[in-house]
Every structure is written in structure tokens, then in C-alpha cells.
Amino acid sequence: MNKYRIEKDSLGEMQVPVTALYGAQTARAVENFPISGIQLPQPLLRALGLIKKHAALTNQELGLLSHEAAEAISKAAAEIIADQLADQFPVDIFQTGSGTSSNMNINEVIANRAAGILGQPIGSKVIHPNDQVNLGQSSNDVFPSAIHIACAEQLHKGLLPRLEQLLQQLAEHSEKFHDVLKIGRTHLQDATPVTLGQVFSGYARQVELAHERLAVSSSGLYELALGGTAVGTGINTHPKFAAKTVAAIARETCLPFREATNHFEAQGSKDALLTTSSSLKNCAVSLFKIANDIRFLASGPRCGIGELILPAVQPGSSIMPGKINPVMAEALIQVCAQVVGNDATVSLCGLSGNFELNVMMPVMAYNILQSIELLDKGIAAFTEKGLAGLEADEQRCTELLERSLALVTALVPEIGYDRSSELAKRAHQTGRTLRELALEEGLSAERLDQLLDPASMTRPLA
């Protein structure tokens, strides 16, 4: 039984699996790029489907495509949008830098599926992948538009709401730990006191700012290159095509997409993606700091800092019974490391805006979408299993606070920096307390009660 059919493209004949909806150009790309086994992420396929669906309906409205063809194309594209044809997109991410192979992959799949909807056989080209599915388009404007759509959707459906949940959890901890006094630390050394609530308020603000930066920086994603076709001039497309198609995509996604102000910028550069990736990296750096702090503050439980108590989510060691490790924090910081690396790749990709086209778009898309997904899922896991059950060991916080020599800072306004420094040195050398030595210096017990009160040190002077 023959498992292949023969199809043709401009370079000649190709064998195509008989049941495949794709055609010769896809088969050729599969043969040319057996590199990673990584295929286009589903959000990017969905975005390509959205473009093809609304392009067909716009072309019908403009009188360039028959009602029958447009209806069949839009129905086939809707199946891709609904993730029903995922096995039909075998082209590797590491392919032609414009994404042409993947654009033709989706054109061929839609053409053959549309033919089936019309009761015609696969390969009949009753719906043509170039002349009808790709009508008024080029890979050079379709693929960058799809990247923008996919990234914007994933940010607004996933990562931005996830950051809001994390912010809420941190704010709740800040309130819960409002009165828990602890020693502050700078340069990994003892510093003046803070409350655990103040520490968590700082974490909450970091997340709030990360959310704001992402929301602002990603606004550039709303400009779509659609309408520029090959080099930005709009050759072979109707002058109303882009505006109408982009408006329809905006309505379906409920996001404010618009036609690019300048198509030469939109296709020759990828600055909006670079800005978004940079904000993702910044977000990862903030999250790394928060997760790392929490795991250090929870170190112990007896021989570390031990000011926080992490929820026990799994046994920590295959050899040491009873050990519990900060696994949720460790998972998140690994996510953050990957996102930082992804941004480096995206930056290098951005350098390849050669003349009228960037030619590293598929790998750029893959890395940004991976960063968004990893942060989304990493934050979800950390929030649910690492933060939700987090508790303070107030006894340990008090114990460490009372042992710290940094409290001497509060004596400076009273006895001066030099005398305070000498007092701290003597306390450290002799093992005696600051209070004992300060009493010997002539300070009264009542005044020391005021000066060495840790709670007063966490508030600004009146």
C-alpha cells in the first residue's frame, strides 16, 4: 500500500505522507531541517490561524475571494486556532529565518483542509495555498505579526494575571508579618532591625513594578506588520486589507492590535520583541532575588538563619532522613536563569535585521514564548506550594535580633560614631552585651530601653 503521494513545488516533485494535510514545501522543509525536533509552539500556530482566518474573510469582503473559498479557508483556520490539527506542523524551529517554511506549512494545511470541507481530495489545489490562503500576504509580514499576536495573548492571558496573584500573596504575607521583628542584613552581615512585613513589602513592590514594566514594554506588540508584504511596500495587497484584517483580529482577541505605523520598521527590526524580552528578563531577575532571599531566610532549620519556615512539599534527600529542601524556590530560580539566557538569544536575533527583514524570527519567537510560559508556570507553582504555607519563626527572629551587635547604630546620636564603634568591638571581643557596656559608659537604663528598642529602629524618627 502506497504511504506517499507526489506533490510539486517550484523546485520539483516531493513525496508527501498520503494522510498529511501539508504539501510539497512542508515536506521539503522537514527534509532540510532535521535539527532539534522542536516545532512551532501552539500559541504561534493559533496566531497564524487567526491571521489566515481573518485574511480570507477580509479578501472576500474586498471582492478578491469567493464566498465559498473564504468560508472554507476560515473554517479550516478555525480548527488550527482551536488546536485541532497540531500534528500537521512538523517543521523545525531552526529553519528559514523569515518563517517562510512555517507560513507555507500553514498555507498548505489550510488549503487541503479547506478542500476537504468542500468535498475535494487532498492535493487537488481546489483551494490554492499561495493564490488564495496567502492572498495579500507574505511570510515577511505574516510571521512577525503572528509572533506579536502570540506573545501579547500569552502575556495577557497568562503571565500578567499570574504576577497579580503573586503580588497579592506577597502583600498578604507583608500584612501577616507586620509585627515580626528581625535583624536586617546588608553585605550578608548584620544590619539594623526591620520587620518581616517590611521585607515582604519590598518583594511585593518588586513584583508590582515588574508587572508595570511588562505591561508598558509589551504595548509595542500591538503594532502588526501585516500589510507590508515582501519588503514593507505592500506590493500585491489591497490598500484596505491590513487595516480590516488587523481590526478583525483585535475584535476576536480583545486586544488593541493595529496596523504598524511604519512597515519598514516593523519588518526590518524586531525592537518591540527585544523590549518585551528585556522586561521578561528584568522580571526574572526580580523573582530570582525574591526566591533566593526566601530560601536563605529559611535555611536550617537549626544551623542556618531559620527565620522562615517553608511548607514541606517533598522529602529533600535520598540519604538524609527528614531533610526538607527549598525546592519550590530552587525551581523558580532555575526558570529565571533560563529566561535570562533566552533574552541573550533574543538580543542576538535582534542584531539580524538585515536591510528590509529580520532573518532570525523563528528562534526569537520560540525563546520569548518559552520565557513567558516558564515564568507563568514557575510563578504559579512557587505561589501555590512555596508561598501559600510560608510561616515565620518568631522565636528565631527574636533570638538572632537580640544577639546582633548592629543595634549599636541606635547609640550613635547619643554617644557618637567613634564611641559606639568601640562599644561594639568590646562587646564582640568580651561576649558581653551592648546594654551592659553602655550602662558602664554612663547611660541610664531608662534611656537604653528607648535607644535599644528594636521596634523603634524600624520606624523613621518623628
Mean pLDDT of 220-234: 98
* Each residue's pLDDT tens digit, 247-264: 999 999 999 999 999 999
Same CATH fold assignment for domains 20-135 and 405-457: no
Residue 225 contacts residue 263 (beta carbons within 8 Å): yes
What's the confidence (pLDDT) of residue 460?
77
Q: pTM (2 decimals)?
A: 0.96
Q: How many CB atoms lie within 10 A of CB 274?
A: 21
Mean pLDDT of the chain: 96
pLDDT over 80 at 414, yes or no: yes
User: Domain limits of the chain?
Assistant: 20-135, 150-228+262-393, 405-457
Residues 343 and 352: their CA atoms lie apart, in Å, by: 15
Report residue 462's pLDDT band, with 50, 70 and 90 as the boundaries: low
Residue with more model confidence, 36 or 403: 36
Mean pLDDT of 385-389: 95
Residue 229 contacts residue 235 (beta carbons within 8 Å): yes
What's the confidence (pLDDT) of residue 383?
98
Residues 238 and 55: their CA atoms lie apart, in Å, by: 11
Here the cell at position 111 is 488549503
C-alpha of 175 from chain center: 28
What are 309's strand-pairing partners?
A: 391
Q: Virtual CA dihedral for 263, 147, 145, 273, nearest 10 degrees?
A: -30
Residues 32 and 189: their CA atoms lie apart, in Å, by: 57
pLDDT over 70 at 4, yes or no: yes
What's the confidence (pLDDT) of residue 433?
87
C-alpha of 117 from chain center: 38
Residue 245: partners with Cβ closer than 8 Å, 6 or more residues away:
51, 54, 55, 58, 226, 227
pLDDT over 60 at 29, yes or no: yes
Q: Alpha helices of 302-360 — where are they, by DSSP H?
A: 327-350
What's the confidence (pLDDT) of residue 322?
87
Report residue 351's pLDDT band, with 50, 70 and 90 as the boundaries: very high
- CATH number for the region 405-457 comes to 1.10.40.30
Pick the CATH number of 150-228+262-393 from 3.40.640.10, 3.40.50.720, 1.20.200.10, 3.40.50.1110: 1.20.200.10
Residue-by-residue DSSP string for 426-439: HHHHH---HHHHHH
pLDDT over 70 at 284, yes or no: yes
Mean pLDDT of 45-63: 98
* Each residue's pLDDT tens digit, 309-326: 999 999 988 899 989 999
* Each residue's pLDDT tens digit, 164-218: 999 999 999 999 999 999 999 999 999 999 999 999 999 999 999 999 999 999 9
Give the pairing of strands 189-195 and 223-224. unpaired
- CATH number for the region 20-135 comes to 1.10.275.10
Active site residues: 187, 317
Among residues 245, 22, 27, the alpha carbon closest in space to that of 149 is found at 245
Q: Alpha helices of 96-159 — where are they, by DSSP H?
A: 100-117, 139-154
Q: Which amino acid is at 369?
A: L
